Amino acid sequence: MTRADGGPDGLALELEAPETAAVSAVGDSVSVAGACLTVTSAADGRMSFHAVPETMQRSSLGRLRPGADVNLEPALRAGEPLGGHYVQGHVDAVGAVRSLDPEGHGARLWVDAPAEILRYCVDKGSITVEGVSLTIAGLDDDGFAVALVPHTLEATTLGEVAPGDSVNLEADVLAKYVEKLVETDSPGTIRRA
Q: Is residue 84 part of a domain?
A: no
In a domain, 31, yes or no: yes
Q: Which percentage of the chain shows pLDDT scores above 90?
A: 72
- What is the per-residue pLDDT for 117? 96
Q: What is the pLDDT of residues 30-66, one digit of tens each?
A: 999 999 999 999 999 999 999 999 999 999 999 888 9
When divided into structural domains, the chain yields a total of 2
Domain that holds residue 130: 93-179
Average model confidence (pLDDT) across the chain = 91
Where residue 98 sits, what CATH number does that domain have? 2.40.30.20
Q: What is the pTM of this model?
A: 0.87
What integer pLDDT is reported at residue 193 of this predicted model? 55
Asked if residue 51 and residue 101 are part of one domain, the reply reads: no
Residue 145: inside a domain: yes
The full 3-state SS of the chain, as one line of letters, equals: CCEEEEECCEEEEEEECHHHHHCCCCCCEEEECCEEEEEEEEECCEEEEEECHHHHHHCCHHHCCCCCCCCEEECCCCCCCCCCCCCCCCCCEEEEEEEEEEECCEEEEEEECCHHHHCCCCCCCEEEECCEEEEEEEECCCEEEEEECHHHHHHCHHHHCCCCCEEEEEECHHHHHHHHHCCEEECCEECCC
Residue 86: inside a domain, yes or no? no
Is the domain of 97 the same as that of 175?
Answer: yes
Residues 98 and 64 in one domain: no
What is the pLDDT at residue 184?
62
